Structure 1
Amino acid sequence: MSSTFRSLPGNGLGLVFLSAFLFLAGCGGDSSSSYVEDTPDAKTTPDAVSTGVAADPSTAGPFTVAEEEYNFGRMTVMDNKNGDSYDTDIHGYIQYPEGQTGPFPVVLFLHGRHGTCYDGWGIDDDDCANPIPSYRGYEYISRNLASHGYAVISVDANDINDNDSGPSNGDTGALARSMLVVRHLDEFRTINASGGNSLDMLTGKLDMSEIGIMGHSRGGEGVNQTVIYNRNQPEPHNITAVFSLAPTDYNTQTVSNVTFLALAGYCDGDVEDLMGNFAYDTSRYAVDNDPYPKFQLIPMGANHNYYNTVWTTDTRPDDWTILDSDGDDPWCGENAAGNGRDTPEVQQAQGLFFIASFFRYFIGGEEEFGAYWNGQTSVPGNTCPDGTGPCDDRYLLSIHAPAADRLVIDDTLDPASLTTNNLGGAVRFDGFSSFGICQTNGRPGEGCDVATPTFNIAEQLFMAWDTAATYRSELLGVNAVDYQVLSVRVGVSHGDADNTAGQDFQVILEDMDGNRVSALASDYTESLFYPPGREFYDETNHGSQKTTLNAVDIPLTAFEGVDFTNLNAIELAFDQTPAGTVQVTDLVLQRVDF
């Protein structure tokens, strides 16, 4: 798939054609009968955004899957914060379509930190009789992708896990993992060009023009680091899509100039502060003119381990018990009646859907799998707890479109957002009991007193009301016809008891002629519920309750009746509930059908 998703209208070709026509018309002929070309009317309404149910990638494809397990020897990796270096195997497997000529799009998987030996913790996997094959934990995804024509490499990072789990581990292995990933890609680039390493059958069969990488847990931070490390190599690979699955973010990674998705499960008991959200927040405005989208995805019932089948079958598969030993948190606790947890089967079904769909679209260019990523399309029923769906409240997707496909009204990146938006228009807060700007500080989730913890680190506005109140942002005659949705990320603050039934508000667009059209936020999102669970910083056991900022995306076609070519203002009117508090960022016009 091309790395350039879309260019906006107005490329100048019309002027070239018009000049040519005028030149020819001036070369002679009867002016009284000269041809006058009809010109199309200027566009005045935005394009509709596609809806429905996303294509389901779970069915096995037509190809028999071949597998080669490989070992390319050893390499030295390092931790750039404490200066440690050590050797690691270059070991894993590759699955690909058997008997097909290719070339096959290439995807690489990297597992995270886990025990490396079934014989006991702390035993080097090279010295134990029964190593734990964490790299085998995603075969349910890799085999599926291979059956549809992809080559999937899964990297064994056990030697890094043997070396990076001390009490003061500096880089926590992120650089080492990125070095290992790039070395694997180097080896396969050579094999694709000229064979070798007993893998001559793959010569010429690997399409490495655009590469996708997925990492889980510490592997998630590892693939995030890989984006930076790879670009600094003499012959970098063209990595264009990164899926960061429940990642850590100890190094405050910025992931730019690739399609990037950070997934953070609400019931994660290992990365309980949802650090994937931090990586998303840091990356979304990191580079001007970034031509790739960014995604934040929060599955509301997901823990940390179930995505990996090897970890799921371990003696302690449910990482939530790390925080909640009694398992009685009302939302994430396995012993709580009516909890909101996903079973291993459901969680692996969603892992297959999200990861396969992501790579089949953003790497393989299979158009039918693009629908989910516009934020308006439901997941297939087999990813829902009841097996049929819909379950839009289970998966909270936020989209940050490529730079050319978005117009930022207010990024809320500094206190100026209290008076002036990114367009230079005035901002007003009318009727609020309190409002302001805040930023949380990562792992403790402190810094926005209206909701502790808040596990997003974006600079954000907070607004509290106990009578009808309105936020207004002037648009100065902006033309919105090239966009499809009006987006704003909203957190329902769990520190306010007035929010316990959830929240709702009107979104109002006003044009320069005074026409006003409103849309009710709850008609277009399932994310405005009160964060579930027991108090996070409970004195005995952690609870699951925390606030996150999630997208409310309203199709512009919902505002029919305004002049989209000449908009005056947007308002968020909090008049649907008597009182409440919300946190807000990223007020943006976007195209989302990539």
Structure 2
Amino acid sequence: MRVYPVIPVVIVVLKVLLVPSNGQGPFAVNTGRYRYTAKRDNLVLSDRKTEIWAEVYYPRNIALTVGKLPLVVFLHGNHATCGRVLSDGTRSDSSCQYTSSGTCPSGFVVAPSHEGYRYVGIPLASYGYVVVSINANRGITCGGGVSEDGGLNLARGRLVLRHLALWSKWNRLGGAPGTLGFDPKRKINFQQVGLMGHSRGGEGMRAALTQYRDAGTPWKRLIGRMLIRAVFEIGPVDGQTSRTLNAYGVASMILLPSCDGDVSDLQGMHVFDRQFLNIGSRPYLPKGTILVNGAIHNYYNTEWQEPDSTSCGGTQQLPSAKGKSVPQQNTLKGTLLPFIRAYVGPGNERFGVRFDPSYPIPSFLRSVSFYARNHLRAPLQIGGEIEAVESFSRATGKSNGGLNNIASNVVVRHASAHYEHDSSVRVAQVSWTGSGSGKYFQIALGTTSSPFLDFSNYQTLSFRVAVYCSGQICSSNINNSPDMDFHIRLVQGTRLSTAIQLSDLATVRRPVDGHSVLETIDLPVALFTGVNLSHITGLRFVFDVTSTGRIDLAHVFRDVEGPRALSFPLTTSRASLQEGPPLVGSPFSRTAKNIIPATSNTFAGARQRGRGVELMFNSSIEFLVTNSFPRLKVGGVTSTDVRLSPDLRSIAFTLSERENAALDPQADAVIEIGKENVWMFGPMNVQ
């Protein structure tokens, strides 16, 4: 391992790293609740009844607390609303009757999805927060979509705002129900509000943020002045409404389960990717993602007790028992709690280092899993504190500034990023065979009129990288070692800086379950010695370590602030900071499919619906309630405009006139739900 010069930027502030931010706080916690009779609420959904129902966690001696308390609101995602309790004590949720009727079939109980986050809500309340966990079952969860809101996520956002309006009223005037357990009058600080959403609840929370900010919105009158400071999302969906819902103007963090069997294309990555389009906005609040290796979608909610994924290509899933995974729960405790404590309430940004790739993951999280992080301290600015250097937006061979890049004994192509990423993200795909100093990709910096960049006032150079299966990557067993390694140099004309080795800054691993997702690497500019930092003409990636590989490079940017720490002091052995349990997984394998044969399924016919045609299908095997849309595929036609029957034995897809005209009635119909579940149908034979 290379020994780098000791410079101030590499100091690790141990006092910060040792601050506990995931355990129990100083306050004992009480639990309250409130629930109102379901009714049609035109501000939420005008065509059906919805319900105001929530569980609340708050400091027991709230009457003795000094000042007003910050408010954090949780929202679950899409799920069946009724279930049966099984002999082992777990619950199997397989009915949506409560959604429309407010009752469950005989022998079923209401699925209490909102109670599934107690394990994080109670610890958060112990630090002096009032935490409200909303139940969205009636009318919304498992409900059919409406025009421009197929996933009902705009409606979810309005339901959240309706709860916030209620809390604002209680805070100003009193009148909270006795079931709450305390009087919140003049106890809530509406300038310190945080949101957490799981799955469709994630996009729902962005919908709440956006609709509160809309011009002419009724919510500002009903709620009054409110400042939402942070949004945390778990495996969120994105793009299920007619609006693009962003997390601009707030601290934003996306937790991505690498083995997600529901939102298996990791749509939440789009939310972070779009932050690079938000040039020059304020306030300067951090954005990021954290990918948790081995985590699945459902087990972040303890009331969702059936796994959404039973296999995960290339890795092991985190351990679970009786429909719950305590290790997986710990990864949320270790991320949500420090995030909220950093950016909502008294605000101690030292907790935010948990998401900064220049800091090591704490040992209690490293003992559970591996992680990959993206981080952007603040929005990019042109000529400002954080500035884009290269985005690969031009044709292959050209830099952003119109200069010629160099590909020496490597193959480079500018293209769109892997499917998990937003369509706005461009990458340089780089591949090579054999290693050596003569194999490199060099990005030309500057412009045709000024062919260099001045880095003398910048402390950090960052880029994003993703790895693909190639060579020996993915064919060997998983272990704690990096799967990808190379060197990075700055170039000044014909002079090269000292080379920084990637593995000295980060452990970059193979794709898991087919996800070649980008992660952020931070390089301290001061480590690039031997060149004049005010006249840098190029950035060179030298592929002299990993013998054969393929990577994506994206979003090269620089920051006037230095990394607040490095992943470890560069003169120390990396072994002391290895991530992950001492597991040895299997080589990359494909996800298993659960195929329901055509003998169990029937095509039930077609009928006119609005300007389209609705195709109806039945099965003896219940269709699953997921957060991603089920997909109907018939030949070259795909539809996600879907409705489920309450008993989940029937499903209907609506095709537009154009889609219906293109339909091949002799083609087999296939319905895909999540990444593993496939219902097969023969030809529909309809005209």
State the TM bucket, normalised to the shorter chain: 0.7 to 0.9
Quick one: structure 1 residues 68 and 207, their matched pair in 2 at CA, closer, same or farther if it must change by over 3 Å?
Answer: same
Query: Aligned runs of 1:268-279 on 2, under 5 Å?
Result: 268-279=260-271
Contact kept, 8 Å, 1:109 with 1:154, in 2: the verdict is yes
Quick one: structure 1 residues 511 and 363, their matched pair in 2 at CA, closer, same or farther if it must change by over 3 Å?
Answer: farther
Quick one: structure 1 residues 227 and 138, their matched pair in 2 at CA, closer, same or farther if it must change by over 3 Å?
Answer: same
Q: Which amino acid aligns with 1:62?
A: P
1:558 aligned residue (527, 536, 539): 527
Quick one: structure 1 residues 418 and 292, their matched pair in 2 at CA, closer, same or farther if it must change by over 3 Å?
Answer: farther
C-alpha separation in 1, matches of 2:350 and 2:248: 25
2:62 is the alignment partner of 1:103: no
SS at match of 2:21: coil
Which residue does 1:249 correspond to in 2?
A: 238
Contact kept, 8 Å, 1:77 with 1:179, in 2: the verdict is no
Which residue does 2:252 correspond to in 1?
A: 260
C-alpha separation in 1, matches of 2:365 and 2:335: 10
Quick one: structure 1 residues 228 and 334, their matched pair in 2 at CA, closer, same or farther if it must change by over 3 Å?
Answer: closer
C-alpha separation in 1, matches of 2:313 and 2:396: 38
Residue 271 of structure 1: how far off its partner (Å)? 0.9
C-alpha separation in 1, matches of 2:162 and 2:396: 45
Which residue does 1:579 correspond to in 2?
A: 548
C-alpha separation in 2, matches of 1:546 and 1:370: 26
Q: Which amino acid aligns with 1:71?
A: R
**Stretch moving more, 459-468 or 272-281:** 459-468
SS at match of 2:300: coil
Contact kept, 8 Å, 1:54 with 1:372, in 2: the verdict is no
Contact kept, 8 Å, 1:409 with 1:589, in 2: the verdict is yes
1:303 aligned residue (277, 293, 296): 296
Which residue does 1:194 correspond to in 2?
A: 173
Quick one: structure 1 residues 577 and 383, their matched pair in 2 at CA, closer, same or farther if it must change by over 3 Å?
Answer: closer
C-alpha separation in 1, matches of 2:557 and 2:300: 32
2:192 is the alignment partner of 1:210: yes
Which residue does 1:492 correspond to in 2?
A: 467
C-alpha separation in 1, matches of 2:18 and 2:277: 28
Residue 122 of structure 1: how far off its partner (Å)? 2.1
C-alpha separation in 2, matches of 1:49 and 1:375: 15
1:466 aligned residue (393, 418, 433): 433
Residue 507 of structure 1: how far off its partner (Å)? 0.9
Identity %: 27
Residue 566 of structure 1: how far off its partner (Å)? 4.3
Quick one: structure 1 residues 362 and 49, their matched pair in 2 at CA, closer, same or farther if it must change by over 3 Å?
Answer: farther
Contact kept, 8 Å, 1:328 with 1:334, in 2: the verdict is no
Which residue does 1:90 correspond to in 2?
A: 52
1:121 aligned residue (95, 105, 124): 95
Contact kept, 8 Å, 1:104 with 1:151, in 2: the verdict is yes
Q: Which amino acid aligns with 2:297?
A: H
Query: Aligned runs of 1:301-380 on 2, under 5 Å?
Result: 301-311=294-304, 314=305, 316=306, 318-321=307-310, 327=311, 329-332=313-316, 344-364=325-345, 365-380=347-362
Contact kept, 8 Å, 2:288 with 2:376, in 1: the verdict is yes
C-alpha separation in 2, matches of 1:187 and 1:114: 25
**Stretch moving more, 149-158 or 70-79:** 70-79
Quick one: structure 1 residues 239 and 328, their matched pair in 2 at CA, closer, same or farther if it must change by over 3 Å?
Answer: closer
Query: Aligned runs of 1:19-38 on 2, under 5 Å?
Result: none
Query: Aligned runs of 1:529-548 on 2, under 5 Å?
Result: 529-532=509-512, 544-548=513-517
Q: Which amino acid aligns with 1:142?
A: G
Which residue does 1:9 correspond to in 2?
A: none
C-alpha separation in 1, matches of 2:457 and 2:53: 48
Residue 168 of structure 1: how far off its partner (Å)? 10
2:534 is the alignment partner of 1:569: no
Which residue does 1:175 correspond to in 2?
A: 154
C-alpha separation in 2, matches of 1:76 and 1:418: 58
Query: Aligned runs of 1:365-514 on 2, under 5 Å?
Result: 365-385=347-367, 394-403=370-379, 405-412=385-392, 414-416=393-395, 418-421=397-400, 424=401, 426-440=403-417, 445=419, 457=423, 458-466=425-433, 468-475=439-446, 476-494=451-469, 496-497=470-471, 499-500=473-474, 502-511=483-492, 514=495
Quick one: structure 1 residues 59 and 296, their matched pair in 2 at CA, closer, same or farther if it must change by over 3 Å?
Answer: closer
Q: Which amino acid aligns with 1:254?
A: N
Q: Which amino acid aligns with 2:276?
A: R
**Stretch moving more, 484-493 or 177-186:** 484-493
Residue 320 of structure 1: how far off its partner (Å)? 0.6
1:142 aligned residue (105, 115, 121): 121
**Stretch moving more, 496-505 or 182-191:** 496-505
Residue 427 of structure 1: how far off its partner (Å)? 4.4
Residue 511 of structure 1: how far off its partner (Å)? 4.6
C-alpha separation in 1, matches of 2:81 and 2:463: 43
Residue 231 of structure 1: how far off its partner (Å)? 0.7
Quick one: structure 1 residues 431 and 307, their matched pair in 2 at CA, closer, same or farther if it must change by over 3 Å?
Answer: same
Q: Which amino acid aligns with 1:215?
A: G
Residue 298 of structure 1: how far off its partner (Å)? 0.8
Is the helix fraction higher in 1 or 2? 1
2:239 is the alignment partner of 1:239: no
Q: Which amino acid aligns with 1:263?
A: L
Residue 174 of structure 1: how far off its partner (Å)? 0.6
Contact kept, 8 Å, 1:265 with 1:304, in 2: the verdict is yes
Which residue does 1:58 correspond to in 2?
A: 22
Contact kept, 8 Å, 2:427 with 2:553, in 1: the verdict is yes
Which residue does 2:136 correspond to in 1?
A: 157
- Give CA deviations for 1:353-392 in whole Å, capped at 9, x if unaligned: 1000100001131243132232222233222346xxxx6x
Residue 504 of structure 1: how far off its partner (Å)? 1.6
Residue 593 of structure 1: how far off its partner (Å)? 4.5
SS at match of 1:159: coil
- Give CA deviations for 1:503-532 in whole Å, capped at 9, x if unaligned: 2221112357946222011111112x2224
SS at match of 1:438: strand
Residue 309 of structure 1: how far off its partner (Å)? 1.2
2:557 is the alignment partner of 1:588: yes
Contact kept, 8 Å, 1:51 with 1:377, in 2: the verdict is no
Q: Which amino acid aligns with 1:255?
A: A
Quick one: structure 1 residues 483 and 194, their matched pair in 2 at CA, closer, same or farther if it must change by over 3 Å?
Answer: farther
Contact kept, 8 Å, 2:259 with 2:294, in 1: the verdict is yes
C-alpha separation in 2, matches of 1:260 and 1:223: 11
Residue 303 of structure 1: how far off its partner (Å)? 0.6
Residue 490 of structure 1: how far off its partner (Å)? 0.8
Quick one: structure 1 residues 415 and 565, their matched pair in 2 at CA, closer, same or farther if it must change by over 3 Å?
Answer: closer
Residue 433 of structure 1: how far off its partner (Å)? 4.4
C-alpha separation in 1, matches of 2:40 and 2:397: 51
**Stretch moving more, 117-126 or 144-153:** 117-126
SS at match of 1:383: helix
Contact kept, 8 Å, 2:318 with 2:325, in 1: the verdict is no
Residue 279 of structure 1: how far off its partner (Å)? 2.1
2:194 is the alignment partner of 1:229: no
The answer for unaligned runs of 5 or more in structure 2 is: 1-6, 85-93, 477-482, 566-687
- Give CA deviations for 1:36-78 in whole Å, capped at 9, x if unaligned: xxxxxxxxx9955746546332321111213321125556468
How many pairs were matched up? 501
C-alpha separation in 2, matches of 1:91 and 1:74: 9
Quick one: structure 1 residues 121 and 168, their matched pair in 2 at CA, closer, same or farther if it must change by over 3 Å?
Answer: farther
Contact kept, 8 Å, 1:466 with 1:579, in 2: the verdict is yes
Quick one: structure 1 residues 359 and 162, their matched pair in 2 at CA, closer, same or farther if it must change by over 3 Å?
Answer: closer
SS at match of 2:204: helix
C-alpha separation in 1, matches of 2:175 and 2:373: 43
2:35 is the alignment partner of 1:71: yes
- Tell me the TM-score normalised to structure 2 length: 0.67
